[in-house]
A and B are shown apart, each in its own frame.
Chain A
């Protein structure tokens, strides 16, 4: 029944490690997104994919690399993790751009030690 799912829910890791967060949506949506929510709750878009094609890359360090194997999945791989990467990462999807509301996954809380 879950519309947008993310794994893992919590991720605790050491600085310098590489980690991935997976996202899947079963809504048949064309567009998927990654957002970062910082400790002050500010939500900022990182990436947007439409039908597996990267549309937005909002000045995100190239240590972050999204991968979309098909339009139902959008994974986020992070290399050489830094303390400042600690945040909650949300995946979202929408039927199409602009008009449609975005449905969010439950979030992945990443803690870099």
Chain B
């Protein structure tokens, strides 16, 4: 069975602070894929990143960066110099190779205060 745990239910930061959202996963698959999605207050789900289990390189995209560590089964997401527009619920998700199922964590609600 697959499981994704996002232990932080809610986080509040002041604008321009850095913030890290934690994601820990469990899977028996040797090949799997990890994802982050953003759900802003408007409600849509926006894809942010996909990582496969063979690629542990960290990824940076503007103010966003992701740290994938197989040894700790974690795929953490850092926002640098947070902005009010970053306020959203962020979901980490996991899919096994060949699986039709995307297993989501319960989400972390991030509030960035001006």
Interface positions of A (Cβ within 8 A of B):
31, 33, 40-45, 48, 50, 55-56, 58, 88, 90, 92, 97-104, 106-107, 109
Contact = CB atoms under 8 A, between A and B. Distances in A.
Interface in B72-109: 89, 91, 95-102, 104, 106-107, 109
A105 B25 CA distance: 26
B33 interface: yes
A97 to B, nearest CB: 5
Contact of A102 (B43, B47, B89, B107): B47
B35 A48 contact: no
A111 B98 CA distance: 35
Given A88-B43, A103-B47, A107-B44, A98 B99 contact: yes
A44 to B, nearest CB: 8
Given A43-B91, A98-B97, A98-B98, 6 more contacts: A40-B106, A88-B43, A99-B52, A99-B97, A100-B50, A104-B44
Q: Is the interface of A mostly helix, strand, loop or mixed?
A: strand
A73 B105 CA distance: 27
A99 B33 contact: yes
Contacts of B100: 31, 33, 48, 50, 55-56, 97-98
A97 B98 contact: yes
A92 B51 CA distance: 19
B113 interface: no
Q: Is the interface of B mostly helix, strand, loop or mixed?
A: strand
Nearest to A50: B100
A99 B89 CA distance: 23
Given A98-B100, A99-B33, A107 B43 contact: yes
Interface of B: 33, 35, 37, 39, 43-45, 47, 50, 52, 89, 91, 95-102, 104, 106-107, 109
A90 B93 CA distance: 15
19 contacts: A31-B100, A33-B100, A33-B102, A41-B39, A41-B89, A42-B104, A45-B102, A56-B100, A58-B101, A88-B43, A98-B95, A98-B97, A99-B95, A100-B50, A102-B47, A103-B47, A104-B44, A104-B47, A109-B43
